[in-house]
């Protein structure tokens, strides 16, 4: 991180994807912050990346409201995915997070680390091919999801399976946000409530159903997980009386080879690539990018394009 040193009333860009990972402070905390700024000035510098505000939204708003100059510190992340991972790590140190926001941030951090690990493992020369080293020489990005789960599980004192569940939860919240932003914000802030299982069902709902659910939950009625008014959205799963019972299966009976495993893994990874490319297309000033960086990106994109065409050829040939 590089501290600018200069104090002035900077005007920073706001990126919604970053802002959505920061839980707003409560009214009492805002008052405490404002009083502190009135008495002592800006205090710690505000973190930015590529001119974008990262986490200090409440302080930034107070600085501008009171016309108080402040310092900025530039985040050293190399790309937006590293920024997202940094924001998650930073916010997870807060003691005022809701349970929903904590789940969401752990899930987003895992998804970012998984993408970063795969990227740097593919691009790093041997013998450091499986990880990118930090300046101190310690591994920064693990190359496999299981190592990332182990690392985060130890860090947050939760099971590895819970890390995967939180990742699915984060994806579900992002789907909800696309259809009904107020519902996503309400769930993460704790103003609205649904069980985790029900939130995981929401990506399978049509956008209009999600918006209708937001209307029901925001109607001022105290709803619990078993409330009758939610039955239309989450019908109980009933087992057909004619359905044959499944035989019990032990670990020894499980198949040793799943022909769908590799393609399923690829299918789950591709949306993250697409998201990263969309961010590049919308945010990057290509005229300002160095020729070396553009050449390196073009080389990797051509390789990716060739592999995509090969996979599509196999899928088309095999029907």
Q: What 8-state DSSP symbol labels residue 319? A: -
State CA 209 to chain mean position distance.
24
Residues 124 and 122: their CA atoms lie apart, in Å, by: 6
pTM of full prediction above 0.75: no
State CA 168 to chain mean position distance.
10
Q: What is the pLDDT along the chain (319 residues), one digit of tens a residue?
A: 555 568 899 999 999 999 999 999 888 999 999 999 999 888 899 999 999 999 999 999 999 999 999 999 999 999 999 999 999 999 999 999 999 999 999 999 999 999 998 877 776 555 544 445 554 444 467 768 899 999 999 999 999 999 999 999 999 999 999 999 999 999 999 999 999 999 999 999 999 999 999 998 887 544 444 455 677 778 766 555 555 554 554 444 444 445 665 665 566 567 666 767 777 787 787 888 887 778 778 777 877 876 787 777 677 666 5
Residues 42 and 63: their CA atoms lie apart, in Å, by: 8
């Amino acid at each position: 991180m590089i501290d600018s040193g200069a104090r002035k009333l900077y005007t920073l860009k706001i990126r919604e994807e970053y802002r959505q990972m920061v839980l707003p402070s409560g009214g009492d905390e805002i008052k405490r912050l404002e009083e502190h700024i009135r008495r002592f000035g800006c205090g710690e510098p505000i973190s930015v990346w590529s001119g974008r505000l990262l986490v200090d939204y409440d302080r930034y708003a107070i600085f501008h409201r009171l016309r108080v100059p402040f310092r900025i510190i530039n985040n050293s992340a190399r790309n937006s995915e590293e920024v997202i991972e940094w924001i998650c790590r930073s916010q997870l140190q807060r003691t005022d997070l809701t349970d929903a926001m904590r789940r969401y941030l752990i899930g987003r951090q895992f998804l970012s680390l998984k993408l970063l690990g795969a990227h740097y493992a593919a691009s790093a020369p041997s013998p450091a091919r499986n990880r990118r080293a930090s300046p101190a020489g310690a591994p920064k990005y693990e190359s496999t999801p299981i190592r990332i789960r182990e690392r985060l599980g130890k860090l947050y004192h939760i099971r590895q399976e819970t890390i995967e569940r939180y990742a699915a939860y984060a994806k579900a919240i992002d789907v909800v946000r696309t259809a009904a932003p107020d519902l996503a914000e309400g769930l993460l802030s704790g103003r609205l409530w649904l069980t985790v299982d029900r939130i995981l069902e929401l990506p399978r709902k049509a956008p209009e159903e999600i918006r209708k659910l937001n209307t029901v939950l925001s109607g001022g009625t105290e709803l619990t997980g078993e409330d009758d008014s939610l039955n239309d959205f989450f019908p109980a799963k009933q087992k057909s009386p004619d359905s044959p019972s499944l035989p019990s299966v032990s670990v020894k009976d499980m198949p040793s080879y799943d022909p769908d495993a590799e393609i399923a893994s690829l299918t789950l990874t591709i949306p993250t690539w697409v998201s990263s490319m969309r961010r590049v297309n919308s945010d990057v000033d290509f005229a300002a990018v160095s020729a070396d960086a553009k050449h390196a990106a073009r080389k990797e994109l051509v390789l990716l394009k060739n592999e995509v065409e090969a996979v599509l050829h196999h899928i088309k040939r095999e029907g």
